[in-house]
Amino acid sequence: MRDEYDFSKGKRGPVIPRDPSKVRITIRLDADIVEYFKSQVHKAGGGNYQTMINSALREYLNKRLEPLNETTLRRVIREELQATQ
């Protein structure tokens, strides 16, 4: 290590710029939900639990916004029939 470092050309702020499509919010979630996602990240060997929560929410929305067509109806009926057997 050096005795002295020159930070005269240093820049303040994050090393990696923020993703402009992301919005910073404060949200309160149940502790067991957060723990679940953290444990999944741990099992996967690393990652970000917040990204996993975002992906789960996106997947939920995509399924909710899926158009109601014949293919969707057939899939839902198959799933329901399998659940009753």
The pTM of this model reads 0.59
Model confidence pLDDT, tens digit, residues 16-43: 888 899 998 999 999 999 999 999 999 9
Written in H, E and C, the secondary structure of 24-85 is CCCCCCCHHHHHHHHHHHHHHCCCCHHHHHHHHHHHHHHHHCCCCCHHHHHHHHHHHHHHHC
* Angstrom distance (rounded) from CA 36 to CA 49: 9
Residue 50: CB atoms within 10 Å: 14
